[in-house]
Structure formats: C-alpha cells, structure tokens
Structure 1
Amino acid sequence: MNKTMLLMLAVALTACGPSQPSETVDTLVANPERIKEIQRLCKEDRTKVGDELCLRAAEAAKRRFFGDRPEQKSK
C-alpha cells in the first residue's frame, strides 16, 4: 500500500510543471506597461494567457483609472 502511494505521489509531482510567477493586481497597478502588455496578449490569445491573469490586468487598469476613491453609499 505504501509503495503504491509513493508511486502515485511521484507521478503527481512530476506532472506538475514550474508555475509562472504570480502577478497580483497590486503589482500590476504599479507597472502600467505590464498591464498594456498583458491586455495585448489577452486580445491575441486569451486561452494561452489565461482568464485569471487577464482579469487581474483588467482590475489593475480599472484601479489605475479610477484611483483609490472611497465607495459611495446608496441611499
């Protein structure tokens, strides 16, 4: 049983490739050129870039455009 589990663990770990560095919305806000580059890549081939990174770039662009305005409360 233990050998089977070790073999499955080894197969699972070899299937995992190196992950790309995670770009957060905050790091993108600080780098507008990177936002533009990601948005261009998303327009060309969104499946290659990935939905999550495209959404982060969109959120970063929105934050840069609107700034840190406080939210208005509804009456």
Structure 2
Amino acid sequence: MNKSVLVVMICMLAACSKAAPTDTVDSLVAHSDRLRKVEKQCADDYAKMGAAECNAASEARRRLFMGSGPQYTPPKKPPKF
C-alpha cells in the first residue's frame, strides 16, 4: 500500500512540472503579432513567463532586426587616419 501511494505521489509531482515553451524562435519570427504579445508578457511578468520563452522572443527580435546575414568581423589591421 505504501509503495503505491508513493508512486502516485511521484506521478502527481511529475505532472505538475512546468511545460516546455511552445513558441520557438522560428515560429516567433514567422508570426510577428505573437512575438509582440510574448515580448509584452515578458516585460510585464518575467518570472511567470520564464527565461526560455523570453530568450526565444529576444532571439526572434534580433533575427528580425539584424537579418540572417553574416556577422560583422573587424579587419585585422586597424585603419590609418
């Protein structure tokens, strides 16, 4: 009896764990209206949204702003003025 109660309690605790974020960076880039909602929710209550969701929104905004082009790398020789 004690083992079955323990197993049921463990299953209940496992079911209460926080779900994985549903929005990926690519889905947020494709749906800018959803991106704005997620960004507003992160600004209002970061602890409730969680770091994974807010980081995905941040990366999506960066990709929209910066594009997917090559990253800037400065020249090896400094410019002469």
Bin the TM-score by the shorter chain: 0.7 to 0.9
- 1:53 alignment partner in structure 2: 53
TM-score by length of 1: 0.75
> Greater helix share, 1 or 2?
1
Look at both structures and tell me which one has the larger radius of gyration over its CA atoms. 2
Quick one: distance in 2 between partners of 1:55 and 1:21? 11
Matched residues, number: 72
TM-score by length of 2: 0.70
Quick one: distance in 1 between partners of 2:32 and 2:19? 23
Which digits, 9 at most, give the CA deviation of each residue in 1:1-44, with x for residues without a partner? xx73x654432221223735521111111011111101111111
Aligned alpha-carbon RMSD (Å): 2.3
Give the unaligned 5+ runs of structure 1.
none
Sequence identity percentage: 29
